[in-house]
Structure 1
Amino acid sequence: MAHLPELIRDLALILLVGAFVTILFKRIRQPLVLGYIIAGFFVGPHFQLIPSIVDTENIETFAELGVIFLLFSLGLEFSFKKLLRVGGHASITAVIEIVFVSSLGYFTGQLLGWSQMDSLFLAGMLASSSTTIILRAFDELGIKTMQFARVVFGVLVVEDIIVILLMVLLSTVAVTQQFEGGEILFTVFKLGFFLMLWFLLGIYLIPSFLKRARQWMDEETLLIFSIGLCLGMVILATRVGFSAELGAFVMGSILAETTLAEKVEHLTKPIKELFGTVFFVSVGMMIDPAAMLQYAFPIVVVTILTIGGKFLFSALGALLSGQPLKQAVQVGMSMAQIGEFAFIVAALGLSLGVISEFLFPIAVGVSAITTFTTPYMIKYSEPFYNWLARVPLAHWKDRIEHYATGTEKLRANPAWKVLFKEYIRIIVINSIVLIAILLLFRYAFLPFIEGKIASAFVQHAVTVAAAMLPAAPFLWAVVFQKPRCDAYQAMWMDTATNKAPLMAIEIVRVLIGVLLVGLFIDRLTSTHVALWITLPVILPFIYLFSRRIQVLYQRIEAHFISNLNERENSLIQADNSGRLNQKNEEVQSGLQAWNAHIVEMEVPPLATYAGRHLKDLGWKEAYGILVVYIRREENIIHLPGGDHRLLPQDHVGILGTDEQMMHFKAAFESQEDIQYNDMAIEDISLHQVMLQATHPLVGKSIARSGLREDTDGQVQVVGVERDGIRMLNPEASLVFKAGDIIWLVGNRKRIREVITHPATNPPDWPPPPEPLASSM
């Protein structure tokens, strides 16, 4: 008998138990992640009724792959451009919530007598909320279109990226066992540098390669290539001192900017779900009921901290970002739970061997409790706001609303703000590329030529000359590149007030360029050589050849921007939804003070109002909403008039407040109540009938024969044969005559009622034939 590896048996057990438990959780409408964790408990060492996992070492390896593919998938859904579009409201809310809740988590761990590492990782576990639980609750309550939901979605996006960075910091602290501010600050700068560098190089190279190789990229090759890129970036991230999860997330976010992002996401989804299931099951295997009972008090404390702290500081962050009191309360009560990242952070701590095992049952207990409380928190957020506004905050409500309205007036983007961002973008991005070139030549090129050239001076001269060739375009950009915005030209022409500050900025950037060149040469040779080469050689060289260098830089920049916008441009070319969504965001930002926003809703297939004129619907008068556009396939009708009609599958932009939307939603989603018969396809057949002169159908038209009504719509006439002439699908006005042979399709039993009518067939007419077709 062939030997079967224990890993195969373990996988069979994990997947079968996971499937049955998740079916149950779907039935009771609970998150699947919680179901996987319960399944892990069933196959773990603390549950003896079914076999347990044996090959734990390989299962842990599969679980680590699960984390990698979960983060890779998250990156595919994320993209850095999506983060830039989130906006100030969500960013401020997320940062305030994470800072305060994480701090409370750390101090709570210290008060409970835990070690410093346990307290730090508890802080990381509390940093994010659960996207899965929130989306499920929003769907069940039908409030995804409400204005506060948009802020919640933005906060979740910002939380994801911050928790990824926290994981890197936690792993660094865990490995070095150092908590000095200088070490953490260096890690932050190092992390920011490599993130920007990977993103710039990835966007510059990968979309171009995919575009050139697309004709050879079938689904199999694309899947293999995507997974290879993911694991390759995982290796690179670990080599430079970061976590594997960060590498997977970065590569996913790079691929998210390509035109093949959706296809890659579709192809890798089964792999993510397979290995992700193993990961969450492995989390459940660590659950010890005795430990959960032993740590019941910490579970209760952390649960109260999670619900109370996340509500309080999420609402505070929303208020400080300029949200009205009602929306701030709704945002806060929506965020009051811990997310799937809590298990990933805990798994990271265990894999590094720096935290106690009791953190897992605590995380599971808190997750289970907050999973059940979240829908009720969201459901009763509005009544809770009404109570707050009426009792505790009655005297403060007007001041809070006044502050929210005032912040909207400050959201205008002044010219100096735009210009300053452009200068920062030019200097930071090009400086990162220059430092990357410096590191490449310092640690790769220079050691390579040391054994081939005897003279140290010649070595350094060759290294500097070779390094300056790729560095010249980016040095030129730091010193001479003009901001690409209309504000720059307008402010430069305003000599009275703006020219002097602009001149000061230009002088500062030249000094930065000089320092970069000096640093560049100093790291490659010596300080003495740097001082003698920077000013008299390098800068005059860049100035003399600035025209050619400018052309080269503009080509590099144009290629990068083209790759960066490739996916977005392809979507805009496919339809107008990209530009439309952008315009919607602009309009909504202007209407923030009015508590109004635009929601795009799809007309149901059987809408009762389909085909009617907008003026006849009276929606504006009845609900106070306004139809601002109708998107029909690739065409958009802006500000439709009363004579326009709505058709099934139309996407309609509705402008209104949350209250107006809630009242209007029922009318918009109303559909015709169509009665469906329960006839099985096996019962459908085709029969022929000859009509005799005494048959009750003779002399009646098809429309007035009552044939369809008498058979409950289960029999129809599909053909009539008369005097050798065959009529397929005859008109309803056709009158039956004696001798006609009619062809009926429908329910076999109801057709036989027509066939067996005593006057249907003559005595010598053969018995009813077998059906000519068993199904249609």
Structure 2
Amino acid sequence: MSLVAETTHHLQPLITDLGLILMTAGVAVLLFKKIKQPLVLGYLIAGFLAGSNFDFFPSITDHKSVEVWAEIGVIFLLFSLGLEFSFKKLMKVGGTASITAITQIICMVFIGFSVGHWMGWNTMDSIFLGATLSISSTTIILRAFDELGVKGKKFAGIVFGALIVEDIVAIIMMVLLSTIAVSQQFSGMELIQSVFKLVFFLTLWFVGGIFFVPTLLKKAKNLLTDEMLLIISIALCLLMVILAANVGFSPALGAFIMGSIIAETTQAEKIEHLIKPVKDLFGAVFFVSVGMLINIDTLVEYAVPVVIITLVTIFGKAFSSTIGALLSGQPLKQSVQTGMSLAQIGEFSFIIATLGMTLGVISNFLYPIVVAVSAITTFTTPFLIKYSTTFSDKLERTLPVKWVKAIDKYSTNTEAIKSVSDWQMVLRANMTQIVIHSVIIVAVILLSSEYILPLVESSPFGNAIAALITLFILSPFFWALSLRRVAAKQVQVLMKERKYRGPIIMIVLLRMLLTLFYLGFMLNTFFSPEIALIALVVAVAVYFIFPKKLNGQYHKIENHFISNLNAREIVKAGRSRQDLTPWDGHMTTFEIAKESNIAGKTLAELQLREQLGVNIAFIRRGEVMINIPGRNERLFPGDEICVIGTDNQVQEFKVYLDKHEIEIPEKVAETDIVLKQIELKNEEFIGKSIRESQIREKTHGLVVGIERNRKRILNPESHLILEQFDILWVVGSKKLLANFFKD
């Protein structure tokens, strides 16, 4: 009984506090949903009401337990963010978004640090202030874009790309800030070591994760229920959290990395759907815990700094982002729209501030100031986005004509030189090869010396056995680092020019020397220097005797990795080649018999779509092909009609035609008309109705289905508004569809 009583005593405050948090969060959700304000802001206010700084409402009793819940919330927030992130997205972001984001981050870190010093704050407070002001809020921007209906505009694409870059920079920043906070000094060498350490483990975890995790999920696919998939994904997340913590990184970094690894698997969408309730639950707890730190007395005392930092955030971020977009070659209007969209701080700022408090290196007043600035900029963001076009037009009229022309000329010239040269491709391919294989080789050597060598070193030839095992594992990677040809076509072209021959030969020699260095490092780990030198000569000799076997072994490993890396796209592409898979739809051709009594009637009179749900893809009339016929098109005896619909719909149509004496042709001639699945990304028609998009007029095509947020709409009405990432099923000319739906 005493054990039960003791357990109840410990559980009571934990359960009571969690219940209070969730109750206030629930009320905040309902209220802020009703008044159409961001839920994050509601959670912050709910946290303030449930905190000990507000005396007119029940307060939490155990702050430590809430901190634990908040840390778990950060882990799941970052894991979910990783699921949406994907490193491949970063590769596709492009120079415009990267330059915009990096320019803004550098400027705001410097401005924030300077403002902190100007207000008399200590160095660590100033550094963390600059870091928190440099990262914009994805949640607030997405919500504002949805409300204002601007997601389809070109500047929105730049903003989304910039947010992706900011997310990964924020992760790097957290690692660097942790290093600075722990060492309490600004040693350049310390920071360089931290960056190299981060790159090493990011590369190792990502390469290893992509090699093993998709394979695990693929092999167990038939065994995994939703419950098991949720448990396994959370287990993988927490495993990476443990690995990150053990090597000295933030647990949140591990969660983010595992999320980005799972984002490349075919199960990514399902896992993201399953993890969403968990993320929402603990995310709410995190933001409520942030609100608990708001102290009205502190805010009143630091009201002037709040106002100053708010103005610095709005004007500083808007200006620096605009400059970044201009530097990347964007026109003035789009640059201003981009800058004014990014003028706020949000969830990552809270996480960075939480890091500072956890490490005990920032003052107590900084956290509530950051929360207050975030709350104010949450309200100002929609207005800034809404009036950004008006402001850019006014700015264009205000600026000297010479400046406007210079910006336009620079933008045009920048667009013209964005192509990547052969030399850049060769350099990038070789650097990728060197970095990835260096990380793999060093990691395997260190792991082997740590785990394999202790198992066998007691035997007479223990070191030799450990060295042979390690060499066997690494031999394909040694071959790839030294001899594998990369960017072969570009190298062949460049070798014809004398100025490139020397650099290319130097790169090849560098790769060979690195291989010898790593081979020597491996042998020196297991043997004395003298024996290692002899073993090196023998190893190199053996290495050159079996190049074909090493080549074959490496390509097996590489193909497995690439297959896992591209599995999601391969499945997606395969789905797009299928015939309206979600509805089991397909195209079937019939011939109108001479005796059919529907001959001579228009499609409007027959109302086939309204009655049976089928669409007419084309009518073949002798040598004449009528693609996507209009409502007033008549059917004549001998016409071949191509009908699109599900199995049941086509069967019903067949029964319908059987009553009117139809004939089915034995052979159907080839046609250019196809049923194509397309993910809507082109900003030209996002936000327009199907009719306004002129898909029918420009492609002679017909939208027969839409999938939106996993909900499927068959035969959508022409007034339906198209949204970004809608999946359209369009029947029409293969050539015209391909040209029209180019990204």
Q: Normalising by the residue count of structure 1, what TM-score does the alignment of the two structures yield?
A: 0.75
Deviations 1:662-695 (A, max 9, x none): xxxxxxxxxxxxxxxxxxxxxxxxxxxxxxxxxx
Deviations 1:559-582 (A, max 9, x none): 0000000011101111169xx999
How do 1:314-463 residues align onto structure 2 when only pairs under 5 Å count?
Answer: 314-450=321-457, 452-453=458-459, 458-463=461-466
1:259 counterpart = 2:261? no
- Asked if the contact 1:576–1:634 (Cα under 8 Å) also holds between the matched residues in 2, the reply is no
Quote the residue 2:569 is aligned against: 568
- Asked if the contact 1:40–1:281 (Cα under 8 Å) also holds between the matched residues in 2, the reply is yes
Quote the residue 2:612 is aligned against: none
Structure 1 counterpart of 2:478, from 475, 479, 504: 475
Q: Which moved more, 1:389-398 or 1:357-366?
A: 389-398
1:506 counterpart = 2:508? yes
Quote the residue 2:547 is aligned against: 546
Q: State the secondary structure of the residue aligned to 1:5.
A: helix
- C-alpha change, 1:530 and 1:610, in structure 2 (3 Å) is closer
Quote the residue 1:125 is aligned against: 132
Structure 2 counterpart of 1:533, from 528, 532, 535: 535
- Asked if the contact 1:600–1:652 (Cα under 8 Å) also holds between the matched residues in 2, the reply is no
Q: Which moved more, 1:269-278 or 1:381-390?
A: 381-390
Q: State the secondary structure of the residue aligned to 2:486.
A: coil
Question: In the aligned structure 1, how far is the partner of 2:133 from the partner of 2:268?
Answer: 30
- Asked if the contact 1:599–1:654 (Cα under 8 Å) also holds between the matched residues in 2, the reply is no
Q: Normalising by the residue count of structure 2, what TM-score does the alignment of the two structures yield?
A: 0.78
Quote the residue 1:249 is aligned against: 256
How do 1:721-740 residues align onto structure 2 when only pairs under 5 Å count?
Answer: none
Amino acid at match of 1:138: F
Deviations 1:168-211 (A, max 9, x none): 11122222323201011001000000000000000000111111
- Asked if the contact 2:576–2:678 (Cα under 8 Å) also holds between the matched residues in 1, the reply is no
Quote the residue 2:619 is aligned against: none
Amino acid at match of 1:301: I
Question: In the aligned structure 2, how far is the partner of 1:608 from the partner of 1:583?
Answer: 18
Amino acid at match of 2:18: L
Question: In the aligned structure 2, how far is the partner of 1:140 from the partner of 1:291?
Answer: 34
> Any gaps of 5 or more consecutive residues in structure 1?
589-596, 618-629, 642-650, 657-776
Q: State the secondary structure of the residue aligned to 2:186.
A: coil
Structure 1 counterpart of 2:53, from 46, 52, 59: 46
Amino acid at match of 1:92: I
User: What percentage of residue pairs aligned between the two structures are identical?
Assistant: 47
- Asked if the contact 1:164–1:246 (Cα under 8 Å) also holds between the matched residues in 2, the reply is yes
- Asked if the contact 1:125–1:346 (Cα under 8 Å) also holds between the matched residues in 2, the reply is yes
Q: Quote how far apart the aligned CAs of 1:359 are.
A: 1.2
Structure 2 counterpart of 1:279, from 283, 286, 289: 286
- Asked if the contact 1:325–1:401 (Cα under 8 Å) also holds between the matched residues in 2, the reply is yes
- C-alpha change, 1:611 and 1:48, in structure 2 (3 Å) is same
Q: State the secondary structure of the residue aligned to 1:293.
A: helix
Question: In the aligned structure 2, how far is the partner of 1:46 from the partner of 1:406?
Answer: 57
Q: Quote how far apart the aligned CAs of 1:272 are.
A: 0.6
- Asked if the contact 2:97–2:161 (Cα under 8 Å) also holds between the matched residues in 1, the reply is yes
Question: In the aligned structure 2, how far is the partner of 1:396 from the partner of 1:491?
Answer: 40
Question: In the aligned structure 2, how far is the partner of 1:409 from the partner of 1:366?
Answer: 40
> Any gaps of 5 or more consecutive residues in structure 2?
579-675, 702-725
Question: In the aligned structure 1, how far is the partner of 2:29 from the partner of 2:132?
Answer: 24
- C-alpha change, 1:13 and 1:583, in structure 2 (3 Å) is closer
How do 1:533-612 residues align onto structure 2 when only pairs under 5 Å count?
Answer: 533-534=535-536, 536-575=537-576, 598-600=684-686, 603=689
Quote the residue 1:691 is aligned against: none
- C-alpha change, 1:496 and 1:64, in structure 2 (3 Å) is closer
- C-alpha change, 1:631 and 1:190, in structure 2 (3 Å) is closer
Quote the residue 1:517 is aligned against: 519
- Asked if the contact 1:259–1:567 (Cα under 8 Å) also holds between the matched residues in 2, the reply is yes
Quote the residue 1:84 is aligned against: 91
- C-alpha change, 1:636 and 1:442, in structure 2 (3 Å) is farther
Q: Which moved more, 1:272-281 or 1:348-357?
A: 348-357
Amino acid at match of 2:320: F
Question: In the aligned structure 1, how far is the partner of 2:386 from the partner of 2:680?
Answer: 27
Amino acid at match of 1:568: E
Amino acid at match of 1:506: V
Amino acid at match of 1:474: F
1:240 counterpart = 2:247? yes
Q: State the secondary structure of the residue aligned to 2:399.
A: coil
Question: In the aligned structure 1, how far is the partner of 2:448 from the partner of 2:502?
Answer: 39
Root-mean-square deviation over aligned CA pairs: 2.9
Question: In the aligned structure 1, how far is the partner of 2:531 from the partner of 2:184?
Answer: 39
Quote the residue 2:160 is aligned against: 153
Structure 2 counterpart of 1:633, from 718, 726, 729: 729
Question: In the aligned structure 1, how far is the partner of 2:13 from the partner of 2:85?
Answer: 37
Q: Quote how far apart the aligned CAs of 1:394 are.
A: 3.1
Quote the residue 1:229 is aligned against: 236
- C-alpha change, 1:582 and 1:525, in structure 2 (3 Å) is farther
Quote the residue 1:308 is aligned against: 315
- Asked if the contact 2:105–2:134 (Cα under 8 Å) also holds between the matched residues in 1, the reply is yes
Structure 2 counterpart of 1:183, from 170, 177, 190: 190
- Asked if the contact 1:13–1:43 (Cα under 8 Å) also holds between the matched residues in 2, the reply is yes
How do 1:15-94 residues align onto structure 2 when only pairs under 5 Å count?
Answer: 15-94=22-101
Q: State the secondary structure of the residue aligned to 1:633.
A: strand
Amino acid at match of 2:548: R
- C-alpha change, 1:295 and 1:581, in structure 2 (3 Å) is farther
- C-alpha change, 1:545 and 1:64, in structure 2 (3 Å) is same
- Asked if the contact 1:98–1:128 (Cα under 8 Å) also holds between the matched residues in 2, the reply is yes
- C-alpha change, 1:652 and 1:219, in structure 2 (3 Å) is farther
Q: Quote how far apart the aligned CAs of 1:115 are.
A: 2.0
Question: In the aligned structure 2, how far is the partner of 1:276 from the partner of 1:161?
Answer: 20
Q: Quote how far apart the aligned CAs of 1:529 are.
A: 4.1
Question: In the aligned structure 2, how far is the partner of 1:553 from the partner of 1:615?
Answer: 46
- C-alpha change, 1:655 and 1:268, in structure 2 (3 Å) is closer
1:195 counterpart = 2:202? yes
Question: In the aligned structure 2, how far is the partner of 1:99 from the partner of 1:476?
Answer: 40
- C-alpha change, 1:476 and 1:16, in structure 2 (3 Å) is same
- Asked if the contact 1:235–1:247 (Cα under 8 Å) also holds between the matched residues in 2, the reply is yes
1:292 counterpart = 2:299? yes
Q: Quote how far apart the aligned CAs of 1:386 are.
A: 2.1
Deviations 1:597-620 (A, max 9, x none): 64456755xx69999756999xxx
- C-alpha change, 1:634 and 1:108, in structure 2 (3 Å) is same
Quote the residue 2:627 is aligned against: none
Question: In the aligned structure 2, how far is the partner of 1:465 from the partner of 1:287?
Answer: 60
- Asked if the contact 1:601–1:653 (Cα under 8 Å) also holds between the matched residues in 2, the reply is no
Amino acid at match of 2:295: D
Amino acid at match of 1:551: G
- Asked if the contact 1:600–1:653 (Cα under 8 Å) also holds between the matched residues in 2, the reply is no
Q: State the secondary structure of the residue aligned to 2:277.
A: helix
Q: State the secondary structure of the residue aligned to 1:354.
A: coil
Q: Which moved more, 1:411-420 or 1:195-204?
A: 411-420
Question: In the aligned structure 2, how far is the partner of 1:564 from the partner of 1:128?
Answer: 29
Structure whose CA Rg is larger: 1
Deviations 1:279-338 (A, max 9, x none): 111111111101001011111111111111111111111111111111111111111111
Question: In the aligned structure 2, how far is the partner of 1:582 from the partner of 1:408?
Answer: 27
Amino acid at match of 1:541: V
- Asked if the contact 1:195–1:250 (Cα under 8 Å) also holds between the matched residues in 2, the reply is yes
Q: Quote how far apart the aligned CAs of 1:503 are.
A: 3.3
Question: In the aligned structure 1, how far is the partner of 2:411 from the partner of 2:245?
Answer: 44
